[in-house]
Amino acid sequence: MHWIDPRRSIRKSLLTYLLPAAIALMTAAWVVHGLLLERMAQGFVEDRLQDEVAFLEHQLRQSGPEEIRDIAEGDYFEKVFHHAFALRTGNQVHSSPAQWSAALEPLLNAADTGFVRISEPAADASRADFLAYRKALTLNGETVVIVVAEDLSHLQQSQQELHLWTAVVSAILLVLLILAIWLAIRLSLGSVNRIKQGLTSLQSGASNRLDVEAPTEFQPLIGQLNQLLDTLDQRLSRSRDALANLSHSVKTPVSAIRQVLEDDTRVLDQELRQQLAQRLSDIDRQLESEMRRSRFAGPQAGKAAKPVSQARDLLWMLGRLYPDKNFELETELGPETSWPIEEHDLNEILGNLVDNAGKWSATGAELSLTESAGELVITVEDDGPGVSADALPTLGNRGVRLDEQTPGHGLGLAIVREITDRYGGSLLFSIGTRGGLRASVSLPKARTAGVTHHENR
């Protein structure tokens, strides 16, 4: 929602939106209560008037002319039903009580049946607001019109008092609801204060991880922060290890070269030059190894690579590097598929595996990218001479080379294993269906996407 300021306090935002909503809902409930109360009261009055007209009709049909006059002129109807009524039989008009005559007798002139609501009576009427039920019937050949009415002023006054008390109760409930909302927000946001205290502890060095009890909604955030802290610790550890390794590995060759160069009594013959070149090659190899290791990122939040696109670019480049060999890409993933791997790390895995396969293959190699229920799998297979079963466990160990005639320092597969370990995956070697080496990398899966593709290069 673009109209919500993301920088605004959560407490203020909740109060700003919840309090007006609570007030509006309580007001709407109060208004609806008033409408329903009025409708129920009017329905109750209408039912009573209809029942009394029906009772009076029953009495009239069972009575003779004299008895009808006695019923109309007596106070029986008032005592039993406490309603005003008017009765017209032929030319005779009867009404009771007398103060209702001016209001009810004009209603006897019509001969239809139904309810009549009078809110603004004539000036000489004594009743301001009343509801009447009129019914016309035929009795002994004569038209009889009955009107029974009830004064609504007292009923409306009672309704208003009840509605007013409802408003008072609603206001009290609204105050309690506001207090409950404020308390719920305060208690719910207490976890934010705990996270803030945890961050303060991190900043002061009192702790090295954010370990606080927080609701489920904050757990992913805490997990990502802890992962970021772990990544920073790993990078710092790798930097320190790289410096220590360089210091240890370079110190001896540099000292040997310096001693040779400082010895002005010794001639630099061909054998000595080869030794110096070998020392410098060792230094260069160590520098290359540590520099490549320092660039490994490891798993990071927000980092993703597109394996299909990167594999295409890599196979195109290797096709130019090894023009006499064929490289194939086998995958059902779409070009927009993303894997939760840092892009440079994926390049190192793909590049080292496919380059190693290209060096050893006879006619080419195949790269396969797949996704299964719980992992991401990269498989590279060549048709080269392969590796003996005894040598398979040693592949990927640092500095191991099975053939000194092939260019390289034996670092490629070791780099792949190191990156794979940092992602919590595995690197396995086996004999492929083509007779060459098959290298398979399995990494934890985060999300999937897939459209079938098959490419040859």
Q: Looking at residue 403, what is its pLDDT?
A: 45
* pLDDT above 70 as % of the chain: 73
Angle in degrees, 0-180, between the axes of helices 270-294 and 219-262, rounded to the nearest 10: 170
How many other CB atoms sit within 10 Å of the CB of residue 387?
A: 19
Q: What is the pTM of this model?
A: 0.44
Strand partners, 73: none
Average pLDDT over the chain, rounded to an integer: 76
Residues 6+ apart with CB under 8 A from 376: 307, 339, 341, 370, 442, 443, 444, 445
**Does 443 score more than 80 pLDDT?**
yes
Segment 116-173, tens digit of pLDDT: 888 765 444 455 678 889 998 887 777 888 888 888 877 778 888 888 888 898 889 8
Do 327 and 311 meet the contact criterion of CB atoms below 8 Å apart? Answer: no
Average pLDDT over residues 220-241: 76
Asked if the bond preceding 307 is cis, omega within 30° of 0, the reply is: no
13-156 to CATH, choices 3.40.50, 1.20.950, 3.30.450, 3.40.30: 3.30.450
Average pLDDT over residues 383-407: 64
Q: Looking at residue 380, what is its pLDDT?
A: 92
Cα gap 379→131, rounded to integer Å = 90
**Does 439 score more than 60 pLDDT?**
yes
Cα gap 407→335, rounded to integer Å = 33
Q: Looking at residue 266, what is its pLDDT?
A: 65
Domain boundaries, the chain: 13-156, 216-294, 307-456
70 pLDDT band, cuts 50/70/90, is low
Do 21 and 183 meet the contact criterion of CB atoms below 8 Å apart? Answer: no
Does 398 or 52 have the greater pLDDT score? 52
**Does 406 score more than 50 pLDDT?**
no
Does 72 or 312 have the greater pLDDT score? 312
Q: What dotted CATH number matches 307-456?
A: 3.30.565.10
Average pLDDT over residues 271-284: 71
